[in-house]
Amino acid sequence: MSEHRSTPAGEHRPVLLREILEFLDPRPGEVVVDCTLGYAGHARELLQKVGPTGRLIGIDLDAANLPAAREKLSAVSHPYSVHHGNFAGVARVIGEESLEGVDVLLADLGMSSMQVDDLSRGFSYMRDGPLDMRMDPTRGRTASELLFTSPEEELAEAFRDFGDEPMADVIAAAIVKSRSKGRLVSTWQLSNLIQQAAPVKINPHPLPGDPKPWQQKIRPVARVFQAMRILVNRELANLKELLRVLPSCLNPGGRVAIISFHSGEDRLVKAAFKESHRTGVFEQISDDPVRANYTEKNDNRRSRSAKLRWAKRSS
């Protein structure tokens, strides 16, 4: 997994937008929930589709995203509302909006380029910053705190399960050993420790399409940073809760799409959709994940690891 870099002029391009609009098929007058509002790239297009008789509800755990999202949505001039919170609480938000269900629901589980580019958040392994990684900086323990207090076995398990890191045990042991010198407080400290604990044998002459030497070097760093972000924000636990309440949030005939960027996330979505299809709750689900085409992968690095699954609730 490679870290997303800023798009031109800092623009955050919504991933798989054409496919999202095709599969969700938002129609005039419908109610849409964007569970991961971000800077409203998807939401703006969805709001335009449902029109002045429709409605969009946006949810985001990162309060820093909300002002820019409101500005984009206000420019559309159709009804919308924005909530600061976790998508695991989507059923509560729908109830607060005095609704029994919605027609369209979207969740994009990845980070935005703005979060990566904000050095104070600690998501980037390419730039130095405080080792935080909280999507909501007002609550929960930071990555620095978790690395200093978590048992070695728990860290190794997280690196394996959330980051698919083959050197998980070695890296976890090195982190625990480093505690005698104090807490890791910066992203560069963690990045350097990982590279020293799990050095990569570089292929200086990769074939076309293979990772470049610098990408090979930072792969363990990228995997551990991904695992720590998931651990800090309890992302898989929150996704499980979203998937549990999801069917009850959709009106008959309602459509849902979830974009994941990690194999563990995709497995959870696939299993939940298949079970709801088996029991007749969903009348239709995607057989395979939808991936970005060649052009989008070239234009938007963030799309390269994106997997989209969609489902339709029974009428």
For 255, which DSSP code?
Answer: E
Predicted pLDDT of residue 113: 67
As its CATH architecture, domain 8-113+236-313 has 3-Layer(aba) Sandwich (3.40)
C-alpha pair distances (Å), 38 with each of 48, 58, 167, 238, 247: 17, 9, 33, 17, 23
SS3 129: coil
Predicted pLDDT of residue 122: 86
The whole-model pTM stands at: 0.88
The continuous run of DSSP H or E covering 308 comes out as strand 307-313
Predicted pLDDT of residue 192: 95
- Determine whether 264 is exposed, middle or buried from the number of CB atoms within 10 Å of its CB (0-12, 13-18, 19+): middle
137-232: CATH superfamily: Putative methyltransferase TM0872, insert domain (1.10.150.170)
Q: Sorting pLDDT into bands at 50, 70 and 90, what band is 7?
A: very low
Q: What is the pLDDT of residues 26-48, one digit of tens each?
A: 999 999 999 999 999 999 999 99
Please say if the pLDDT value at position 8 is more than 60: no
Q: What is the pLDDT of residues 115-157, one digit of tens each?
A: 777 878 888 888 899 999 999 999 999 999 999 999 999 999 9
Q: What is the pLDDT of residues 93-122, one digit of tens each?
A: 999 999 999 999 999 998 766 677 787 888
- Give the closest residue to 134 by CA, choosing from 303, 14, 144: 144
- Give the closest residue to 14 by CA, choosing from 72, 53, 62: 72
Please say if the pLDDT value at position 214 is more than 90: no
Please say if the pLDDT value at position 2 is more than 80: no
**Residue with more model confidence, 5 or 274:** 274
Q: What is the pLDDT of residues 231-241, one digit of tens each?
A: 999 999 999 99
In the chain, where the domains are located: 8-113+236-313, 137-232
CB within 8 A of 295, min separation 6: which ones? none
Whats the size of the chain, residue-wise? 315
Give CA 132 to chain center in angstroms: 17
Q: Sorting pLDDT into bands at 50, 70 and 90, what band is 210?
A: low
Whether 32 contacts 58, CB under 8 Å = no
Phi and psi at residue 256, to the nearest 5°? -130, 145
Q: Sorting pLDDT into bands at 50, 70 and 90, what band is 207?
A: confident
Please say if the pLDDT value at position 269 is more than 80: yes
Whether 250 contacts 315, CB under 8 Å = no
Mean pLDDT on 67-73: 96
Predicted pLDDT of residue 127: 87
Sheet holding 282-285, edge to edge: 80-84, 55-60, 31-34, 102-108, 250-260, 307-313, 282-285
Mean pLDDT on 201-205: 77
Please say if the pLDDT value at position 287 is more than 80: yes
The stretches of 168-283 forming alpha helices (DSSP H) are 168-178, 187-197, 213-232, 235-249, 263-278
Query: What is the Cα–Cα distance from 34 to 48, expressed in whole angstroms?
Result: 13
The stretches of the chain forming alpha helices (DSSP H) are 17-24, 41-50, 66-76, 90-96, 113-117, 143-149, 152-163, 168-178, 187-197, 213-232, 235-249, 263-278, 294-299
Predicted pLDDT of residue 215: 65
